[in-house]
């Protein structure tokens, strides 16, 4: 509860639009999965609570990506752990007062479990469908991510899967992954294909200096993305382009950017402060990887209020404005308008 505003950020109905499935799994959930596998002699991995001690949130670009490739992806490597972790992530968001969630994931084959990429997406969607019974107020959609290290064929496969599973709640395509890797211009044809098929587009944008050349940012802007994630290392010219493109969603992830030292300075220095009043873009605070950075969405709103001194009506107005940036249809927008304060 924030007494001076009479606001409880946990019970305030919230929208989360930038949450990676694997990075959103709580350490407790990873530990439970590890215990089950250990008991069944199905893993040699170390206890996740030792690999990622509960108080540690200072992962930077050098330690963040290896955590997934060398640990989390090896622990979540079959149908039951994928289902269990997806449901756990949804439950955690629901308990934090999230009423609309767009989860994102890079389709990943799990050969030892006999799962190809389509089987992976199907399993995640089934877990989302099952979770609905336990947390009916939270509606979840799925975004499929292209990894910057993907070949054009692999990226095309992600788009094909997004098209295949559209009627089960896949709404968009994302481009993510290690910002020091890859040349995004390779993906222009598949992004255009996704857009032509009616899928929405969201892109990790200027997340690090390595992924913020004028050439890269201009290429991405030419794709006419519906939303941009992070938006850190941007020139004044790019800022103007964003501001002029009416209604573009900006997924801003404060704790992630501060803990991972992606910005200079602390919360007060975050570019949220420069964007939230700008007409045109729709600013949506997001968690990115709550399992890694440890700050649930309610806490992101608390931080925003604390560091930028938003008033009660400004907080509620900004939260509600986020409805304009969701990728679901009119029915869902209407539900959120009724539900949100």
The residues annotated as belonging to the active site are 207
Distance, CA of 325 to CA of 322 (rounded, Å): 5
| CB 61, min distance to Zn ion, A | 12
Q: Is 258 helix (H, G, I), strand (E, B) or coil?
A: helix
The residue count for binding Zn ion (CB under 5 A) is: 1
Question: CA-to-CA distance for 43 and 272, rounded, in angstroms?
Answer: 42
- 154: helix, coil or strand? helix
What gap in Å lies between CA 24 and CA 291, rounded to an integer?
A: 4
Q: How far is the CB of 110 from Zn ion (least distance, A)?
A: 22
Kindly tell me which of 145 and 219 has the beta carbon lying closer to Zn ion: 145
Closest to 303 (Cα-Cα) out of 232, 252, 250, 255: 255
Q: Which is nearer to Zn ion, 262 or 315 (CB)?
A: 262
Which one of the spans 89-97, 147-155, 281-289, 309-317 is the region binding Zn ion (CB under 5 A)?
281-289
Read off φ and ψ for residue 98, nearest 5 degrees: -80, 130
Pick between residue 92 and residue 147 the one whose CB is nearest to Zn ion.
Answer: 147
By three-state DSSP, how is residue 31 classified?
A: helix
- From 40-48, 240-248, 280-288, 309-317, give the range in contact with Zn ion by CB under 5 A: 280-288
Of the residues 77, 157, 288, 300, which one makes contact with Zn ion according to CB under 5 A: 288
| Least separation in angstroms between CB 184 and Zn ion | 15
Helix (H) or strand (E) holding 284: strand 282-285
Q: Quick one: which H or E segment has residue 61?
A: helix 61-67
CA dist list (Å): 287 to 24, 101, 145, 251: 8, 11, 17, 9
Q: Is the dihedral of CA 332, 91, 88, 304 positive or negative?
A: positive
Point out which span in 77-85, 109-117, 189-197, 288-296 binds Zn ion (CB under 5 A).
288-296
Ranges of H-type helices in 68-105: 73-75, 79-95
Q: Which of these segments, 43-51, 135-143, 287-295, 322-330, binds Zn ion (CB under 5 A)?
A: 287-295
Chain residue whose CB lies nearest Zn ion = 288
Of residues 64 and 267, the one with the C-beta less far from Zn ion: 64
- What is the smallest separation between the CB atom of 131 and Zn ion, expressed in angstroms? 21
| Residue 178 within binding range of Zn ion, rule CB under 5 A | no
Q: How far is the CB of 7 from Zn ion (least distance, A)?
A: 27
Using CB under 5 A, list all residues that contact Zn ion: 288
């Amino acid at each position: 509860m924030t007494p001076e505003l009479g606001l409880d950020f946990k019970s305030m109905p919230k929208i989360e639009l930038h949450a990676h499935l694997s990075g959103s799994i709580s350490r407790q959930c990873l530990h439970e999965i590890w215990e089950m596998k250990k008991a069944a002699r199905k893993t040699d991995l170390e206890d996740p609570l030792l690999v990622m001690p509960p108080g540690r949130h200072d992962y930077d670009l050098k330690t963040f990506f290896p955590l997934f490739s060398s640990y989390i992806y090896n622990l979540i490597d079959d149908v039951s752990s994928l289902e269990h972790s997806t449901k756990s992530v949804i439950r955690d968001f629901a308990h934090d007062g999230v009423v609309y969630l767009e989860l994102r994931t890079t389709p990943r084959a799990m050969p030892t479990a006999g799962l190809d990429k389509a089987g992976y997406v199907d399993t995640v969607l089934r877990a989302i469908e099952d979770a609905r019974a336990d947390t009916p107020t939270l509606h979840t959609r799925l975004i499929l991510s292209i990894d910057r290290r993907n070949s054009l064929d692999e990226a095309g496969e992600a788009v094909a899967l997004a098209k295949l599973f559209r009627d089960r709640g896949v709404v968009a395509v994302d481009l993510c992954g290690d910002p020091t890797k890859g040349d995004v211009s390779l993906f222009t044809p598949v992004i255009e294909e996704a857009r032509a098929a009616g899928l929405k587009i969201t892109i990790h944008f200027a997340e690090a200096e390595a992924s913020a050349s004028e050439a890269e940012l201009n290429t991405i802007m030419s794709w006419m993305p519906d939303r941009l994630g992070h938006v850190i290392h941007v020139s004044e010219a790019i800022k103007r382009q964003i501001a002029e493109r009416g209604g573009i969603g900006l997924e801003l992830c404060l704790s992630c950017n501060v803990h991972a030292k992606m910005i200079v300075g602390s919360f007060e220095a975050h570019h949220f402060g420069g964007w939230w009043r700008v007409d045109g873009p729709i600013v949506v605070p997001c968690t990115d990887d709550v399992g890694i950075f440890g700050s649930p969405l309610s806490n992101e709103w608390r931080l925003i209020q604390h560091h930028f001194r938003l008033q009660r009506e400004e907080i509620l107005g900004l939260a509600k404005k986020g409805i304009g940036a969701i990728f679901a249809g009119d029915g869902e927008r209407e539900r959120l308008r009724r539900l949100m304060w």
